[in-house]
């Protein structure tokens, strides 16, 4: 971009996305959802283990949305898959 004859640098925020299974009372399997990694971390601090992480570190929101729509809702939802869980901070 040009600004008054000089170049203006755009600072791009690097965003990482997660797919998780929402805990919904009255529905045994919940519902898949997408949010930014920072939002997930805030939810985990507020209510650790309440929702189930499906996948983390996704660099594209569209890919995260596709994964959320394609992930099955059946099976054991009590724990996230070990290979995709976030590392402890």
What single string gives the DSSP state of each residue in 40-86? HHHHHHHSTTSSEEEEEEES-HHHHHHHHHHS---S--SS--GGGSP
Higher pLDDT among residues 73 and 63, named by residue:
63
For the entire predicted model, the pTM comes to: 0.66
Assigned token pair, 52: 């189930």
In this predicted model, what pLDDT tens digit does every residue of 10-67 receive, in sequence order?
A: 777 789 999 999 998 878 788 999 999 999 999 999 999 999 999 999 999 999 999 9
- Per-residue pLDDT, averaged over 65-83, amounts to 65
Closest CA to 73 of 26, 20, 25: 20
């Amino acid at each position: 971009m040009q600004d008054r004859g000089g170049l203006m640098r755009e600072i791009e925020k690097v965003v990482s996305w997660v797919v998780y299974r929402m805990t919904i009372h009255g529905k045994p399997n919940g519902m898949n959802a997408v949010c930014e990694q920072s939002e997930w971390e805030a939810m985990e601090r507020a209510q650790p283990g309440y929702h189930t992480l499906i996948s983390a570190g996704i660099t594209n929101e569209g890919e995260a949305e596709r994964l959320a729509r394609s992930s099955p809702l059946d099976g054991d939802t009590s724990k996230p898959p070990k290979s995709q869980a976030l590392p402890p901070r």
